[in-house]
Structure 1
Amino acid sequence: MPRPFLLLIAIAIVLLFWDGLWRTLGVPSIRPKELMPRLLGKDGIPPLLVDIRTRIEYGWFHIPGALHKPDLLFDADKADLPRDRDIVVICMTGHRSPIVAKKLQSLGFTKVSHLKWGMLNWLRARGPVVKGQDVEG
Protein backbone atom coordinates (compact mmCIF):
# COMPACT_ATOMS: atom_id res chain seq x y z
CA MET A 1 0.00 0.00 0.00
CA PRO A 2 1.22 3.54 -0.69
CA ARG A 3 2.44 5.48 2.36
CA PRO A 4 -0.13 8.32 2.12
CA PHE A 5 -2.92 5.77 2.27
CA LEU A 6 -1.40 4.12 5.35
CA LEU A 7 -1.03 7.52 6.96
CA LEU A 8 -4.71 8.27 6.36
CA ILE A 9 -5.70 4.93 7.90
CA ALA A 10 -3.51 5.64 10.94
CA ILE A 11 -5.04 9.09 11.37
CA ALA A 12 -8.57 7.66 11.09
CA ILE A 13 -7.81 5.06 13.76
CA VAL A 14 -6.38 7.70 16.11
CA LEU A 15 -9.40 9.95 15.60
CA LEU A 16 -11.86 7.13 16.24
CA PHE A 17 -9.92 6.14 19.36
CA TRP A 18 -9.96 9.77 20.60
CA ASP A 19 -13.72 10.05 20.16
CA GLY A 20 -14.36 6.68 21.82
CA LEU A 21 -12.07 7.53 24.71
CA TRP A 22 -14.06 10.62 25.68
CA ARG A 23 -17.36 8.79 25.27
CA THR A 24 -16.02 6.09 27.63
CA LEU A 25 -14.98 8.79 30.12
CA GLY A 26 -18.56 10.09 30.21
CA VAL A 27 -18.22 13.20 28.05
CA PRO A 28 -21.29 13.38 25.82
CA SER A 29 -21.07 14.84 22.34
CA ILE A 30 -23.73 16.51 20.26
CA ARG A 31 -23.87 16.53 16.48
CA PRO A 32 -24.65 19.72 14.52
CA LYS A 33 -28.01 18.39 13.29
CA GLU A 34 -29.01 17.74 16.93
CA LEU A 35 -27.77 21.13 18.11
CA MET A 36 -29.39 23.32 15.44
CA PRO A 37 -33.03 22.83 16.55
CA ARG A 38 -32.01 23.27 20.19
CA LEU A 39 -30.48 26.65 19.37
CA LEU A 40 -33.83 27.75 18.02
CA GLY A 41 -35.44 26.96 21.37
CA LYS A 42 -37.57 24.12 19.99
CA ASP A 43 -36.64 21.92 22.94
CA GLY A 44 -36.85 24.49 25.74
CA ILE A 45 -34.05 26.84 26.71
CA PRO A 46 -31.21 26.79 24.17
CA PRO A 47 -27.84 25.57 25.43
CA LEU A 48 -25.05 27.99 26.22
CA LEU A 49 -22.35 27.74 23.55
CA VAL A 50 -18.80 28.12 24.85
CA ASP A 51 -16.19 28.47 22.12
CA ILE A 52 -12.70 27.72 23.42
CA ARG A 53 -10.79 28.33 20.18
CA THR A 54 -8.09 30.95 19.88
CA ARG A 55 -8.89 34.58 19.20
CA ILE A 56 -7.92 34.19 15.55
CA GLU A 57 -10.01 31.04 15.05
CA TYR A 58 -13.04 32.65 16.67
CA GLY A 59 -12.60 35.74 14.51
CA TRP A 60 -12.60 33.67 11.32
CA PHE A 61 -16.06 32.31 12.08
CA HIS A 62 -18.17 31.21 15.02
CA ILE A 63 -21.71 30.20 15.83
CA PRO A 64 -23.90 33.26 16.48
CA GLY A 65 -24.21 33.89 20.21
CA ALA A 66 -21.28 31.67 21.22
CA LEU A 67 -19.28 32.93 24.18
CA HIS A 68 -15.56 33.14 23.50
CA LYS A 69 -13.72 31.57 26.45
CA PRO A 70 -10.29 30.36 25.24
CA ASP A 71 -8.91 30.52 28.79
CA LEU A 72 -11.04 27.53 29.84
CA LEU A 73 -8.63 25.15 28.11
CA PHE A 74 -5.94 26.02 30.65
CA ASP A 75 -7.90 27.48 33.55
CA ALA A 76 -11.35 25.86 33.82
CA ASP A 77 -11.34 26.44 37.59
CA LYS A 78 -12.36 30.05 36.95
CA ALA A 79 -15.34 29.18 34.77
CA ASP A 80 -18.04 31.77 35.38
CA LEU A 81 -20.78 29.80 33.68
CA PRO A 82 -24.28 28.96 34.91
CA ARG A 83 -24.45 25.52 36.46
CA ASP A 84 -28.17 25.08 35.80
CA ARG A 85 -27.97 25.39 32.01
CA ASP A 86 -26.94 23.01 29.26
CA ILE A 87 -23.46 23.92 28.02
CA VAL A 88 -21.93 22.90 24.70
CA VAL A 89 -18.15 23.35 24.44
CA ILE A 90 -16.82 24.07 20.95
CA CYS A 91 -13.39 23.95 19.32
CA MET A 92 -12.25 23.67 15.69
CA THR A 93 -12.07 19.88 15.29
CA GLY A 94 -13.58 18.42 18.45
CA HIS A 95 -10.26 17.50 20.02
CA ARG A 96 -9.86 20.29 22.60
CA SER A 97 -13.52 20.62 23.55
CA PRO A 98 -13.91 17.23 25.29
CA ILE A 99 -10.93 18.08 27.49
CA VAL A 100 -12.65 21.26 28.68
CA ALA A 101 -16.02 19.50 29.00
CA LYS A 102 -14.40 16.87 31.25
CA LYS A 103 -12.74 19.61 33.35
CA LEU A 104 -16.11 21.33 33.77
CA GLN A 105 -17.71 18.03 34.80
CA SER A 106 -15.01 17.60 37.45
CA LEU A 107 -15.94 21.07 38.76
CA GLY A 108 -19.57 20.03 39.23
CA PHE A 109 -21.13 21.09 35.93
CA THR A 110 -23.57 18.31 35.11
CA LYS A 111 -25.08 19.45 31.81
CA VAL A 112 -21.96 19.65 29.65
CA SER A 113 -21.34 18.21 26.19
CA HIS A 114 -19.08 19.05 23.28
CA LEU A 115 -19.74 19.65 19.60
CA LYS A 116 -18.71 16.44 17.85
CA TRP A 117 -15.87 17.15 15.39
CA GLY A 118 -16.16 20.86 16.21
CA MET A 119 -16.63 23.84 13.96
CA LEU A 120 -15.41 21.98 10.88
CA ASN A 121 -18.34 19.59 11.31
CA TRP A 122 -20.65 22.57 11.94
CA LEU A 123 -19.53 24.12 8.64
CA ARG A 124 -19.97 20.79 6.85
CA ALA A 125 -23.54 20.62 8.18
CA ARG A 126 -24.13 24.18 6.90
CA GLY A 127 -24.74 25.58 10.36
CA PRO A 128 -25.03 29.37 10.61
CA VAL A 129 -21.85 31.29 11.36
CA VAL A 130 -20.75 34.84 11.94
CA LYS A 131 -17.57 35.68 10.00
CA GLY A 132 -14.83 38.24 10.25
CA GLN A 133 -15.56 39.65 13.68
CA ASP A 134 -12.59 40.56 15.80
CA VAL A 135 -12.54 39.60 19.43
CA GLU A 136 -11.47 41.85 22.23
CA GLY A 137 -8.88 40.75 24.72
Structure 2
Amino acid sequence: MNSPAASVLFVCVHNAGRSQMAAAFLARLGGDRVAVRSAGSAPADSVNPAVTAAMAEAGIDLSAETPKILTPEAVRASDVVITMGCGDACPVFPSKRYLDWRLDDPAGQGVAAVRPIRDEIERRVRGLLAELGVEAAA
Protein backbone atom coordinates (compact mmCIF):
# COMPACT_ATOMS: atom_id res chain seq x y z
CA MET A 1 0.00 0.00 0.00
CA ASN A 2 1.22 3.48 -0.82
CA SER A 3 1.51 6.05 1.92
CA PRO A 4 -1.26 8.67 1.94
CA ALA A 5 -0.78 11.79 -0.17
CA ALA A 6 -1.79 13.96 2.79
CA SER A 7 -3.22 13.82 6.28
CA VAL A 8 -6.20 15.96 7.22
CA LEU A 9 -7.66 16.78 10.63
CA PHE A 10 -11.20 18.14 10.92
CA VAL A 11 -11.94 19.99 14.16
CA CYS A 12 -15.14 21.34 15.69
CA VAL A 13 -16.00 21.95 19.32
CA HIS A 14 -18.01 18.80 20.04
CA ASN A 15 -16.78 16.49 17.24
CA ALA A 16 -20.40 15.38 17.00
CA GLY A 17 -21.51 16.89 13.69
CA ARG A 18 -19.59 18.86 11.09
CA SER A 19 -16.15 17.34 11.69
CA GLN A 20 -17.63 13.81 11.77
CA MET A 21 -19.39 14.37 8.44
CA ALA A 22 -16.30 15.87 6.83
CA ALA A 23 -14.05 13.04 8.03
CA ALA A 24 -16.51 10.42 6.80
CA PHE A 25 -16.78 12.01 3.35
CA LEU A 26 -13.01 12.39 3.06
CA ALA A 27 -12.43 8.78 4.14
CA ARG A 28 -14.95 7.53 1.59
CA LEU A 29 -13.86 9.75 -1.30
CA GLY A 30 -10.12 9.78 -0.58
CA GLY A 31 -9.74 6.13 0.37
CA ASP A 32 -6.23 5.15 1.41
CA ARG A 33 -4.79 8.16 -0.43
CA VAL A 34 -5.63 10.47 2.48
CA ALA A 35 -5.19 9.92 6.21
CA VAL A 36 -8.24 11.31 8.02
CA ARG A 37 -8.74 12.38 11.63
CA SER A 38 -11.46 14.32 13.42
CA ALA A 39 -11.58 15.70 16.93
CA GLY A 40 -13.19 18.28 19.18
CA SER A 41 -11.94 20.73 21.76
CA ALA A 42 -14.84 19.71 24.07
CA PRO A 43 -16.13 16.41 22.64
CA ALA A 44 -19.75 15.39 23.15
CA ASP A 45 -20.74 11.98 24.47
CA SER A 46 -22.01 10.81 21.08
CA VAL A 47 -22.48 11.84 17.47
CA ASN A 48 -25.57 13.98 16.85
CA PRO A 49 -28.44 11.59 15.91
CA ALA A 50 -29.67 13.93 13.14
CA VAL A 51 -26.15 13.90 11.66
CA THR A 52 -26.07 10.10 11.82
CA ALA A 53 -29.46 9.95 10.07
CA ALA A 54 -28.49 12.47 7.37
CA MET A 55 -25.24 10.63 6.66
CA ALA A 56 -27.11 7.30 6.48
CA GLU A 57 -29.18 8.86 3.69
CA ALA A 58 -25.88 9.46 1.87
CA GLY A 59 -24.87 5.83 2.41
CA ILE A 60 -22.39 6.50 5.22
CA ASP A 61 -22.81 4.80 8.60
CA LEU A 62 -21.68 6.94 11.56
CA SER A 63 -23.45 4.83 14.19
CA ALA A 64 -20.20 3.35 15.53
CA GLU A 65 -18.30 6.68 15.62
CA THR A 66 -17.54 8.45 18.89
CA PRO A 67 -16.36 12.02 19.43
CA LYS A 68 -12.64 12.32 20.19
CA ILE A 69 -10.65 14.89 22.14
CA LEU A 70 -8.40 17.22 20.16
CA THR A 71 -4.74 16.69 21.03
CA PRO A 72 -1.65 18.66 20.03
CA GLU A 73 -0.25 15.38 18.64
CA ALA A 74 -3.17 15.04 16.22
CA VAL A 75 -2.57 18.59 14.99
CA ARG A 76 1.17 18.01 14.57
CA ALA A 77 0.56 14.75 12.69
CA SER A 78 -1.73 16.44 10.14
CA ASP A 79 -0.70 18.28 6.97
CA VAL A 80 -3.99 20.17 6.79
CA VAL A 81 -6.14 21.25 9.76
CA ILE A 82 -9.68 22.37 9.01
CA THR A 83 -11.60 24.06 11.81
CA MET A 84 -15.36 24.33 11.77
CA GLY A 85 -16.65 26.90 14.22
CA CYS A 86 -14.37 26.35 17.19
CA GLY A 87 -12.88 29.84 17.26
CA ASP A 88 -10.26 30.24 19.99
CA ALA A 89 -11.03 26.79 21.43
CA CYS A 90 -8.72 25.08 18.90
CA PRO A 91 -4.94 25.32 19.18
CA VAL A 92 -2.95 26.77 16.31
CA PHE A 93 0.52 25.52 15.43
CA PRO A 94 2.83 27.51 13.18
CA SER A 95 3.59 26.11 9.71
CA LYS A 96 0.42 24.03 9.44
CA ARG A 97 -2.00 24.63 6.61
CA TYR A 98 -5.18 25.90 8.25
CA LEU A 99 -8.57 26.34 6.71
CA ASP A 100 -11.67 27.55 8.52
CA TRP A 101 -14.88 26.28 7.02
CA ARG A 102 -17.72 28.45 8.23
CA LEU A 103 -20.72 26.17 8.31
CA ASP A 104 -24.01 26.18 10.19
CA ASP A 105 -23.91 24.11 13.37
CA PRO A 106 -26.19 21.05 13.18
CA ALA A 107 -26.53 20.91 17.00
CA GLY A 108 -30.19 20.88 17.98
CA GLN A 109 -31.32 20.67 14.35
CA GLY A 110 -33.47 18.02 12.68
CA VAL A 111 -32.44 15.93 9.71
CA ALA A 112 -34.03 18.39 7.25
CA ALA A 113 -31.77 21.20 8.53
CA VAL A 114 -28.69 18.94 8.53
CA ARG A 115 -29.04 17.87 4.87
CA PRO A 116 -27.86 21.19 3.35
CA ILE A 117 -24.93 21.29 5.81
CA ARG A 118 -24.04 17.71 4.84
CA ASP A 119 -24.21 18.54 1.14
CA GLU A 120 -22.04 21.65 1.56
CA ILE A 121 -19.46 19.63 3.50
CA GLU A 122 -19.36 17.01 0.73
CA ARG A 123 -18.85 19.78 -1.85
CA ARG A 124 -15.98 21.26 0.16
CA VAL A 125 -14.38 17.85 0.73
CA ARG A 126 -14.42 17.21 -3.03
CA GLY A 127 -12.76 20.60 -3.54
CA LEU A 128 -10.15 19.77 -0.91
CA LEU A 129 -9.34 16.50 -2.66
CA ALA A 130 -8.84 18.41 -5.92
CA GLU A 131 -6.51 20.88 -4.13
CA LEU A 132 -4.55 17.94 -2.72
CA GLY A 133 -4.29 16.38 -6.19
CA VAL A 134 -6.27 13.31 -5.13
CA GLU A 135 -8.96 12.02 -7.47
CA ALA A 136 -12.22 11.39 -5.60
CA ALA A 137 -13.50 7.84 -5.60
CA ALA A 138 -16.75 7.28 -7.47
The structure number with the bigger radius of gyration is 1
User: Which TM-score bucket, shorter chain as reference?
Assistant: 0.3 to 0.5
Q: Under a length normalisation based on structure 1, what TM-score does the superposition of the two structures give?
A: 0.35
